[in-house]
Chain A
């Protein structure tokens, strides 16, 4: 890693927020005295959630990135135990040469293990593996009372469930243990198939979910009419038999060094980029063998890519909807395409029905849609329409990506939020939590 700048901002750089103070947590034996801190606290890792889930405007942030030690690795059974601030990158670079991989990985390695638990992250294998939380065997949770609790499926079960997907609100995770999965090689066998519209997507998806561990699609969300939701379907599995390993494959690092002027991002450039992804795949079908890193983390090779959206930041909008009749997905796709809003990098994926232990966990069986919108003045019109459509279809939004859903919508998306609230530590809060529960005090 090159020089870093710490901002204590979220990845979407919206909303702007200023903590009153930041307390670094470096040692598990030297935790801050919660009762001596005025106001509320919230753990903060690498700031990769997009909206305000990781922000505590006016309150205290506990920087956990110095809690970055490995505690144990059972190479035989593939179980790793690490401190809360260890990044998935650190774990991946260490376990892959030893024949193991993350059981579930989000699209970036630059997240902490505790953050992966707190947001119960998912990946391209949700349909076959579930969420990250499904593989967590235990962790230590420190409450503001000073109590240190070991939480697992058998011990402090309720807090275990509340903390997985619990958005950092149930206390401070200091270490966590989780299961890995064995891999035959560092390579992924990937097939890319172009689809002309939503109907074709479903055809390919139906024949792929059984046999392919990883599936995801890039969609040209700005295409309309008979090309509605055209895109590229990508399905993959670990390549076996292994090729002879010859050390690390690494890509040169590209970095966006400064904020691009927002004027570069307009409807036309976005349309070109959006359809460009579609057009890049000029053949109908192609197959390639790819290294784990570019396959799972394509954007990690461009450091600070979020700055490409300029100082106004951007909003990512991710929801999932049940798709028994496929009508909701079609209607929502239409609304987006016809809205005239620019959209870049749209990801489309089927969620499976494996249930997470997490009380507030986001994924539900159906289709998930993740869109990146530059933050324009008219965007809110579209998004509030989408909120209602998602709600009506029985879907929900993903808190980790959210910066704006209303309290009313959140409470309807997550009808068990009050049950969850019973496990929230009285000293812990976030900008997000205050927003969606209608609390104003900090």
Chain B
């Protein structure tokens, strides 16, 4: 059975994706900051059919503990086949423009911690010549916008890193999936007024599950974001810079 590590397991999207794999009887190694929340997720996944669930409480910004984390996952499940990286914070753009420390912390959480962790994981997968990696990036990384470019910068870094990693890993038979969700109705976006562009975490989670099974490279979810982002990317900069986005 599949042995899967989920980093940022308490995110609503990760939780829904995990449920799909749980129904198939996968084993899980869940990582998030709160042990208490992890225990809740563990119960849920076991009821839904998971084989085994292990929990590991960690703040991913403790970079020096990444290796310990990966070793613990491999040891607990006696191997590792698949990794989903879903942790992140929605950056307060205004604050990040004023507060240097905050901006750095946001970039660390949303970009650097992902890249460093994947460095360890990808070497392991390359060596075992199999594995699957899925990372939640964002449509926000497709083009910088005045309203959230610190978050967008971090996601763009992750997306670019994943392109390169995919290129390298393809030779080792390791699949790398970049997930670009649009607007998702999660507690993270509770303050945002909902419109027809919002998708449920359940729908997004299912899309990710299927894309991983089908070894896709890039997933826009829901699908229509591919079209939206293609248009947004193609607006000439001299026009784009005048828009309020």
Contact B40–A27 (Cβ < 8 Å)? yes
**B203, CB-defined interface residue at 8 Å:** yes
Contact A1–B203 (Cβ < 8 Å)? yes
Interface-located stretch among B42-50, B143-151, B161-169: B42-50
Q: Please give, as numbers and ranges, the residues of chain A lying within 8 Å of B37 by CB-CB distance.
A: 27, 29
Number of interface residues of A (CB under 8 A): 21
Contact A4–B200 (Cβ < 8 Å)? yes
Which parts of A64-84 form the interface with B (CB within 8 Å)? 66, 69-73
Contact B203–A3 (Cβ < 8 Å)? yes
- Residue-wise interface mask of A (188-208) relative to B, using a CB-CB cutoff of 8 A (1 in contact, 0 not): 000000000000000000000
Number of interface residues of B (CB under 8 A): 24
Contact B190–A5 (Cβ < 8 Å)? no
Which parts of A1-49 form the interface with B (CB within 8 Å)? 1-6, 22-24, 26-29
Instruction: Say what secondary structure dominates the interface of chain A.
Output: loop
Q: Closest chain B residue to A6 by CB distance?
A: B194
A interface residues (Cβ-Cβ under 8 A, vs B): 1-6, 22-24, 26-29, 63, 66, 69-73, 94
Q: Closest chain B residue to A27 by CB distance?
A: B37
22 pairs across A/B with beta carbons < 8 Å? A1-B200, A2-B203, A3-B196, A3-B200, A3-B222, A4-B185, A4-B200, A4-B203, A5-B196, A6-B194, A27-B37, A27-B40, A29-B34, A29-B37, A29-B40, A66-B12, A66-B187, A69-B41, A70-B47, A71-B40, A71-B44, A73-B47
Contact A24–B41 (Cβ < 8 Å)? no
**B52, CB-defined interface residue at 8 Å:** no
Q: Please give, as numbers and ranges, the residues of chain A lying within 8 Å of B36 by CB-CB distance.
A: 27, 29
- Residue-wise interface mask of B (186-228) relative to A, using a CB-CB cutoff of 8 A (1 in contact, 0 not): 1100100011111110110000000000000000001000000
Contact B43–A4 (Cβ < 8 Å)? no
Contact of B43 among A1, A6, A26, A72 (CB under 8 A): A72
How distant is the Cα of A63 from the Cα of B203 in the complex, in angstroms? Answer: 19
How distant is the Cα of A400 from the Cα of B37 in the complex, in angstroms? Answer: 33
How distant is the Cα of A63 from the Cα of B187 in the complex, in angstroms? Answer: 10
Given A3-B199, A4-B200, are A69 and B40 neighbors across the interface (CB < 8 Å)? yes
Contact A6–B185 (Cβ < 8 Å)? yes
B interface residues (Cβ-Cβ under 8 A, vs A): 12, 34, 36-37, 40-41, 43-44, 47-48, 185-187, 190, 194-200, 202-203, 222
Contact A71–B200 (Cβ < 8 Å)? no
Q: Please give, as numbers and ranges, the residues of chain A lying within 8 Å of B222 by CB-CB distance.
A: 3
Q: Closest chain A residue to B222 by CB distance?
A: A3
A69, A70, A71 interface centre (most CB from chain B within 10 Å): A69
Q: Closest chain B residue to A4 by CB distance?
A: B200
Given A1-B203, A5-B194, are A94 and B48 neighbors across the interface (CB < 8 Å)? yes
Given A1-B203, A69-B40, A70-B44, are A24 and B187 neighbors across the interface (CB < 8 Å)? yes
Beyond A1-B202, A69-B40, 4 additional pairs, beta carbon < 8 A: A3-B197, A3-B203, A24-B187, A71-B44
How distant is the Cα of A66 from the Cα of B185 in the complex, in angstroms? Answer: 10
B34, B41, B44, B203 interface centre (most CB from chain A within 10 Å): B44
How distant is the Cα of A288 from the Cα of B186 in the complex, in angstroms? Answer: 42
Given A1-B200, A24-B187, A27-B37, are A70 and B43 neighbors across the interface (CB < 8 Å)? yes
Q: Please give, as numbers and ranges, the residues of chain B lying within 8 Å of A72 by CB-CB distance.
A: 43, 47
Min CB distance, B205 to chain A, in Å?
A: 11
Contact B190–A22 (Cβ < 8 Å)? yes
Given A22-B190, A73-B47, are A5 and B198 neighbors across the interface (CB < 8 Å)? yes
Contact B190–A24 (Cβ < 8 Å)? yes
Min CB distance, A212 to chain B, in Å?
A: 33
Q: Closest chain B residue to A25 by CB distance?
A: B187
Contact B47–A71 (Cβ < 8 Å)? yes
Q: Closest chain A residue to B183 by CB distance?
A: A3
Q: Please give, as numbers and ranges, the residues of chain B lying within 8 Å of A24 by CB-CB distance.
A: 187, 190
How distant is the Cα of A27 from the Cα of B12 in the complex, in angstroms? Answer: 11
Q: Please give, as numbers and ranges, the residues of chain B lying within 8 Å of A3 by CB-CB distance.
A: 196-200, 203, 222
Q: Closest chain A residue to B193 by CB distance?
A: A6
How distant is the Cα of A94 from the Cα of B23 in the complex, in angstroms? Answer: 9
Q: Please give, as numbers and ranges, the residues of chain A lying within 8 Å of B34 by CB-CB distance.
A: 29
Q: Closest chain A residue to B224 by CB distance?
A: A3
Q: Please give, as numbers and ranges, the residues of chain B lying within 8 Å of A70 by CB-CB distance.
A: 43-44, 47-48
Q: Closest chain B residue to A66 by CB distance?
A: B187
